[in-house]
Structure 1
Amino acid sequence: MPAFDLSIEQLRRYAPAVAEPADFDEFWQATLVGAAGPVLIDVRPEPTELRLVDTWDVTFAGFGGEPVRAWYTRPAGVAGTLPAVVEYAGYGRGRGLPGERLTWPVAGYAHLLMDNRGQSGEYAVGDTPDPHGAPGGPAVVTRGILAPDDYYYRRLVTDAVRAVEAARALPGVDPARVVAAGNSQGGGLALAVAGLVNDLAAVLTTAPFLCHVQRALDLTDASPYGEIVRYLAVHREAEEPVRRTLSYLDGVTFARRATAPAQFGIGLRDTVCPPSTAFAAYNQYGAATEGPATPLREVHVYPFNGHEGGEAVHTRRQLRWLRTVLDPA
């Protein structure tokens, strides 16, 4: 796929006005207050055949106190507290099996991998149901899409915030050094958490989903955005409420409120999450926060890559950058 979006020179200046509901902050404050309370429900050792890491099966209270599953993994035999990376998986993925994602614990971090409620089976298995029904389409991204209160991503973002609280409550985690990380849908969740949790240590986001959503719907038919397009192609009268609902979940609006250092990764041939939508979030990251300067941020661009981005090259850059942020000395 050839480059299809703005030029890199235009992208580095691209900071569009994104529709922001007047009650955006009140909406999310009320949502998170409704999820407040004890966060850890169950933590039990998970037997594996891996000798260099230890894993626990974690259940924590997410949206509405509903149980959400996660894997907690850390280097075996390492005493004391560690910084923790809370990782969010991509669209259609569950938490998978223990041992599928080992980069962070092998690098010396505690690692909490959150399950995506109701997304099991497309790419990886999961164990968390989504016991909600509301008018909308059959795809995850269109569940309850006619009203912000009913929308699936209101629940998933709340789960993601609660996952940070769960990580901080786990044994062996330094609560002052918790990082939100993810790719695609996971990258969008990391940005949402960055805008809702004001004391994260860092944010790692690549190819973030749900950024500058109105532009994404105009640029691509690839899923997951394509699933919204196909819904609107049938439900032609639903465009206004759908766009209103999505405005409460836009990653640009979350990014503007972020305070933690952030590293972005963007492929310029990404037709799933178009590069201009990610740059819209990057260029406005921290713009709405108080203080003399926006948070530390950097972006790595991959001109010849699509949604896969920089893969192992980018992971190495994430590891090096995170060390400098968490241990600047």
Structure 2
Amino acid sequence: MPAFDLPLTELERHRPDIAEPAGFDAFWRSTLEEAGRAEPLVSVREVETGLRLTRTWDVTFRGFAGDPVRAWFSRPAGAGATHSLPAVVEFAGYGRGRGLPHERLTWVNAGYAQLLMDNRGQGDQYGCGGDTPDPHTGAPGGPGVMTRGLRAPEDFYYRRLITDAVRAVTAVRGLPGVDPARVVAAGNSQGGGLALAVAGLVPDLAALLVTAPLLCGIRRALDLTDAAPYGEIATYLSVHRDAERDARRTLSFVEGVSFALRARAPAHFGVGLRDTVCPPSGAYAAFNRYGERSGTTPRKEIHAYPFNGHEGGDAVQVRRQLLWLRAVLDGRGGGTCAPSSGPGRVTP
């Protein structure tokens, strides 16, 4: 698939105005306050995985409405129990669950603690499944989660999943051997959209790693692509022809650019310019406007891959994330600075 979105020179200047709904901040403040009334951790149980260099715990924490959410918590086996490590909270892509604990160990191998959150009501499309049901399925929509409760923000699936993601950060800070001041949000695709939402809702996050984020530049994405999961919205609206106005209002409450505006953490982005699943203009809109309303100038950089699609830079991008994150957490590349630009749209 050839490049189909804006040319790179225009993407680098793409700073769209976002039709932000009245009450956006109040909506998320009240949602998170309600979820925060319950203690986050429910259970933490070590499991045998057959891995000698990694220890893993099966964690259950309370997410949206106090619902139990499952996660894998892993640490390098050689790290002392009292040694506090930075923690990477990783969010999985659309249709995936947490799978099996040995599937995703990049951050543990880099020396970090890692919490891999399950996606409520997902896990049946890729990987090795999930373990967290979504009990709030009364609102119409489906069959994919992208349209569940789409007519009202209070009922929308992503209100619940984003709340789970924020609560995952709270939960990992209460686990033994984690440095609560050095918690990182990371994810690709849907996971990238969740990580970006967390960055906008958790003001003291240490860093953000996001590739090919879903839920960014949603209005433009709906005009550009029929690929799932955006295509699920188009299909839904082709049947429910009277729902477009309500659907667009609901989606404005989970717009990634709105979260990016409020984010403060140092951020590392990646994007494939041939991505027809999450069009690159969404990632650039979030990147270009990142931190504008935070009262700071967060350090940020973005890496574009002209011949890659939704996989982005794949292992090359992960290598860049590893090196960048080590520098940020070691204090050699974090904090805030005045923006500047250079080759590859890296903003130091």
Gaps of 5+ in 2: 333-348
Matches within 5 A, 1:135-284: 135-284=140-289
Structure 1 position 327 matched with structure 2 position 330: yes
Counterpart of 1:9?
Answer: 9
Counterpart of 2:27?
Answer: 27
| Equivalent of 1:130 in 126, 130, 134 | 134
Matches within 5 A, 1:279-318: 279-291=284-296, 294-318=297-321
Matches within 5 A, 1:67-78: 67-78=68-79
Q: Report the CA distance between 1:22 and its aligned residue.
A: 1.5
Q: Report the CA distance between 1:2 and its aligned residue.
A: 0.3
The SS at the match of 2:56 is strand
| Rounded Cα–Cα distance in structure 2 between residues aligned with 1:137 and 1:56 | 33
Counterpart of 2:338?
Answer: none
| Rounded Cα–Cα distance in structure 2 between residues aligned with 1:111 and 1:98 | 11
| Rounded Cα–Cα distance in structure 2 between residues aligned with 1:53 and 1:214 | 43
The SS at the match of 1:58 is strand
Q: Report the CA distance between 1:137 and its aligned residue.
A: 2.9
The SS at the match of 1:161 is helix
Counterpart of 1:88?
Answer: 91
Q: Structure 2 counterpart of 1:128, which letter? A: T
Q: Report the CA distance between 1:136 and its aligned residue.
A: 2.1
Q: Percent identity?
A: 70
Matches within 5 A, 1:28-107: 28-36=28-36, 37-79=38-80, 80-107=83-110
Counterpart of 1:18?
Answer: 18
Structure-1-length-normalised TM-score = 0.98
The SS at the match of 2:244 is helix
| Rounded Cα–Cα distance in structure 1 between residues aligned with 2:125 and 2:140 | 22
| Rounded Cα–Cα distance in structure 2 between residues aligned with 1:130 and 1:274 | 28
| Equivalent of 1:108 in 104, 108, 111 | 111
| Rounded Cα–Cα distance in structure 1 between residues aligned with 2:303 and 2:175 | 32
Q: Structure 2 counterpart of 1:59, which letter? A: T
Q: Structure 2 counterpart of 1:40, which letter? A: L
Gaps of 5+ in 1: none
| Rounded Cα–Cα distance in structure 2 between residues aligned with 1:153 and 1:223 | 16
Q: Report the CA distance between 1:138 and its aligned residue.
A: 2.0
Q: Deviations over 1:248-296 (max 9, x none)?
A: 00000000000000000000000000001110100000011114xx200
Q: Deviations over 1:217-262 (max 9, x none)?
A: 0000000000000001111110000000000000000000000000
The SS at the match of 1:149 is coil
- Residue-pair matches, total: 327
Q: Report the CA distance between 1:19 and its aligned residue.
A: 1.1
The SS at the match of 1:74 is strand
| Rounded Cα–Cα distance in structure 2 between residues aligned with 1:262 and 1:73 | 23
RMSD: 0.7
| Rounded Cα–Cα distance in structure 2 between residues aligned with 1:259 and 1:328 | 16
Q: Structure 2 counterpart of 1:19, which letter? A: A
| Rounded Cα–Cα distance in structure 2 between residues aligned with 1:22 and 1:135 | 24
Q: Deviations over 1:39-61 (max 9, x none)?
A: 00000001111000000000000
Q: Structure 1 counterpart of 2:261, which letter? A: R
Q: Deviations over 1:29-86 (max 9, x none)?
A: 0000110121000000011110000000000000001000000001002110100000
Q: Structure 1 counterpart of 2:55, which letter? A: D
